[in-house]
Amino acid sequence: MCGLELPTDPNLIVGLKSADDAGVYLINDELALIQTVDFFTPIVDDPYYFGQIAAANALSDVYAMGGVPKTAMNLVAFPSKDMDLSILREILKGGIDKLREAGAVLVGGHSIEDKELKYGLSVTGFVHPKKVLVKKKIQAGDLLVLTKPIGTGIATTAIKAGLAPDTLKDEVTNSMAMLNRYAAEIMEGYPVNACTDITGFGLLGHLAEMVEGSNYSVELWAEDVPVFQGVLEMASMGLIPAGAYRNREFRAAMVDFLDVPLSYQDILFDPQTSGGLLIAINSAFAQQFLDSLKVAGISSASIIGEVFQDGSERIIVKTKREV
């Protein structure tokens, strides 16, 4: 990272070198510590929902590593001269409510004065050292399951511009505030090989992280990727956040689009906030896993692609799955 010499420690199971969702530090044969941190500027107008979304997003990296969140600390930058403190109270209430839902406890935090409001959390979780899920352990024949729809970047851009219907606003807000806990709990009962969560790099950016260094390639089926209702139309109207173009530029060299319309391509690179888990699972169990997710109310979950034997580490995007 940036040419820095990275510190090493024999107990550091997952560190900066592997660029995974969180760091993992071995305590003993039964226990490892997961540590992660995330904060950002408001993504929605409602401060209580912003707090919930920021917390769900920060907790997500612990779930993506196969762990359970235990403690958390607030990170707050607040313009107290320009903004009423009741707004901050609502944000923090949203965060605490999500932590409670996750079964984690707030143990402290730090706030500074800043012109621009920012909120997030550092989260610490537990995991059994043998159950750590990393990104790059995808296996040939695995199917890829995504647990939440994508398009939050395009949708929030449209919401800010006043171009989104209330139904979309509610749907996207609820999805971003939803914990990945429920999908993670179901995942524990299945032979999952690799997992990550979908955030700022977009679906293809995070999939690229799984593929890079794995010695496998992946085929993705655009029409099977769950997308929020109306977002495809917004993408064809050109309502694309700048981050989507940056994501494309960064990963374009790894991706081959076969007859995939441009609006779909833009959605696949759309930066997500508090997105779903992307899970690589042995194909023999994939349908049963998907059914379990749906029974638990994770209704948008979908099988979106497949890992195949090809050391060139490519992502092939097709419109449809060939059967």
**CA 20 – CA 41 distance, rounded (Å):** 23
Nearer to Co ion, 168 or 218 (CB): 218
Nearer to Co ion, 197 or 306 (CB): 197
Nearest approach, Cβ of residue 15 and Co ion (Å): 15
15 C-beta neighbours (distance < 10 Å), count: 15
189 C-beta neighbours (distance < 10 Å), count: 11
Nearer to Co ion, 250 or 285 (CB): 250
Q: Could you tell me whether strands 31-40 and 277-281 are parallel, antiparallel, or unpaired per DSSP bridges?
A: unpaired
**CA 124 – CA 295 distance, rounded (Å):** 29
Nearest approach, Cβ of residue 161 and Co ion (Å): 27
**CA 200 – CA 214 distance, rounded (Å):** 21
Nearest approach, Cβ of residue 210 and Co ion (Å): 11
- Give, rounded to a whole angstrom, the gap between the first and last alpha carbons of the chain: 42
Nearest approach, Cβ of residue 111 and Co ion (Å): 20
Nearer to Co ion, 35 or 236 (CB): 35
Distances (CA, A) of 92 to 52, 62, 85, 306: 8, 20, 11, 40
Nearer to Co ion, 142 or 197 (CB): 197
Closest residue to Co ion, based on beta-carbon distance: 21
Nearest approach, Cβ of residue 21 and Co ion (Å): 4
Give the binding site for Co ion (CB under 5 A): 21, 38, 61, 197
Alpha-carbon torsion 193, 198, 199, 204, what sign? Answer: positive
